[in-house]
Amino acid sequence: MTSILRRRPAQRRSLERVERMLDECAVLLDEVGYEALTTKEVARRAEVPIGTFYQFFRDKQGLVRALALRNLDAFLERVTECIATADLGHWTDLVDLAIDEFVNMKRTTPGFAVVDFGEVLIAPGGPAIEGTQRALDGTKDNNAIVADRLRTLSRELLDAPPGPGLDRALLVAVEATDAVLKLAFRVNPRGDEALIAECKHLVRRYLADHLP
């Protein structure tokens, strides 16, 4: 996240202020949406001077980018923690686990229904605000960043041979998961269970051609 901030918080107090601003941003995204989100209100709720806000974030886009990156880090940490305690008999169990964690964050994490890993949605399930597909990195789509992070995790766990074939397969799997889960949350704000199950089935069947 520090690469997105204008200035890295060097002291504990500064770090706490940054986290409070991100927390309030997430709550406001649920309450008023992205378009009505203002830096002034985030600073007010976080109880920091507006000048302090601009010490760390250029604008509300920078704030939301930092929130998205925090969300991605939290998702990967949760998946890693679940893997450590879960009884995974087959790599397909990892697919189910990752999708379940994502769905759980959609349902419980403030702001996640509007901004998960960078793309800003007008409403749960979409559509997305134009220009936010590359929020995490101006040179790569958000899903490509997610696929890169998942590739590192999957190689450690699956002992799968690296190569462009697996890289491409993981990117396709992430894109497919993103599309089907958006549909699931358009059909039902809590996520349609039948469509979530179909998403798992689709990804497992597709990756079966690329993983042992």
Secondary structure (DSSP) of the chain? -TTTSSS---SHHHHHHHHHHHHHHHHHHHHHTTTT--HHHHHHHHT--HHHHHHH-SSHHHHHHHHHHHHHHHHHHHHHHHHHHS---SHHHHHHHHHHHHHHHHHHSTTTTTBSSSPBBSSTT-PBPTT-TTSSBTTB-HHHHHHHHHHHHHHHHH-PPPSHHHHHHHHHHHHHHHHHHHHHHHH-TT--HHHHHHHHHHHHHHHTTT--
CATH number of the CATH domain containing 27: 1.10.357.10
Segment 21-36 shows an average pLDDT of: 96
Is the residue at 131 inside a domain?
Answer: yes
For 140, the domain range is 12-207
Is the residue at 7 inside a domain?
Answer: no
Q: What is the pLDDT of residues 67-81, one digit of tens each?
A: 999 999 999 999 999
Is the residue at 174 inside a domain?
Answer: yes
Is the residue at 6 inside a domain?
Answer: no
What pTM did the predictor assign? 0.90
| Mean pLDDT for all residues in the chain | 90
Is the residue at 99 inside a domain?
Answer: yes
Q: What is the pLDDT of residues 157-180, one digit of tens each?
A: 665 565 678 889 999 999 999 999
**Structurally, how many domains does the chain consist of?**
1
